[in-house]
Amino acid sequence: MPVEVTPEPEGLKLEFEANRQPALFWPAPQLHPHAYRKADLTVLRFGQEPVLALEVVSPTFAEHIRQAYPAAVFHRNALPAAKPNRSALYLLLLLLIGGLLACYFFVLPALADWAVRQLPPEAEVKLGQQLYAQTVDPNDVDTARTKEVNRFLQELRVVTQYPLQVTVVNQETVNAFALPGGQLVVYTGLLNRLESPEELAALLGHEFAHSQHRHTLRALARSLSTYLLVSLLFNDISGLAALLLENADQLDSLQYSRSLEEEADEQGFLLLKANRLAPQGMQRLFQRLQEAVPAGAEPPALLSTHPLTADRLAHLQELMKRHPYQPAPAPALQQIWARLDTATQ
């Protein structure tokens, strides 16, 4: 409230405008010990709870009361006016930014992973079918080799909760990828480079693991976690499908985490073991992919989004030591491979 301040011999008289309430008198010796001053601003405090504060903006007031009450403590202990605590503000800002980054990089991906695990398998199958229609042009499908590769997959002892389906796409891209719900896509650019049934089994096992363990959906969820999470949490399958369809072009270059890739490699190796196929097939698969990289060129997506080949080979050697087995002939797979190899030539 605005007041008129009159310095009197024993202290300050404070009168309110229009006599809105009785005048106050603050004896100078009873003013709080520390006045606050900044430029023309002087702040004085008086009394117990509730403490009253007087703010005076005047170029002469501080000097006037110093001369009027030379024995008073308040003007001898005057402090600069309090400044904003910028360091605390900066710390708060850094904590806020750090919290947002932690939420984006850790909390949201973890929640997206959890939400993916809540999605029923039948909903994932339906979603995979929609994504398949979006990403695969029927005119590019190599029907003959698609039929043979699916026969090959049926001969492998694969345990899955999804109806597995492989599609061979007639493109020179050296790549393969998995869609949610058991849909696997292999490009002829990669299939043409394989030279043994063990290599094809390793490839199918790796991509099957991505689908079986929901790696594809989890990677997409992490990439699109902010928007995708809402759809998954509310079980909005139509909204989820719409969002993923808009981003279907990411599927063939999807980046998985290192742990997901190692899990897929391990599942591919275990599939070779279950069928008693030589584990060197996986080793040669990695080498074929590496050979597809011209000097100085970008690696194919299947390599660029995966761990380095040397690391994968080392992981394979570790798996072979942990899970030793004796390979055996697989006549049925050899026959199917022979038909595939003939078609490739």
The structure's pTM equals 0.64
Tell me: the pLDDT tens digits for 184-202?
999 999 999 999 999 999 9
Residue 308: what pLDDT? Answer: 58
Cβ count near 134 (within 10 Å) = 16
Percent of the chain with pLDDT strictly greater than 90: 42
* Euclidean distance between CA atoms 230 and 111, whole angstroms: 10
Q: Tell me which of 36 and 167 has the higher pLDDT.
A: 167
Q: Is the pLDDT of residue 18 over 50?
A: yes
Sorted by sequence, the CB contacts under 8 Å of residue 169 that are 6+ apart come out as 136, 137, 140, 141, 142, 185, 186, 187, 188
Torsional sign, CA 187, 188, 189, 194:
positive
Averaged pLDDT score across all residues of the chain = 83
Q: Is the pLDDT of residue 104 over 90?
A: no
Sheet holding 183-187, edge to edge: 165-169, 183-187, 176-178
pLDDT single digits (tens) 210-269? 989 888 888 777 766 666 555 555 665 555 555 555 665 555 555 677 788 888 899 999
Closest by CA position to 208, among listed 163, 255, 174: 163
**pLDDT at res. 102:** 76
Per-residue pLDDT, 247? 60
CA distance 81 to 84: 10
Kindly compute the dihedral angle of the four CA atoms of residues 105, 106, 109, 110, in this order, to the nearest 10 degrees. 180
Predicted local confidence at residue 110, as pLDDT: 77
What does the DSSP 8-state code read for residue 257? P
pLDDT confidence tier of residue 99, bands split at 50, 70 and 90: confident
Helix (H, G, I), strand (E, B) or coil at 189: helix
Q: Which pLDDT tens digit goes with each residue over 279-324?
A: 999 999 888 877 776 655 545 545 444 445 778 888 899 999 999 9
Query: Are the beta carbons of 302 and 175 closer than 8 angstroms?
Result: yes
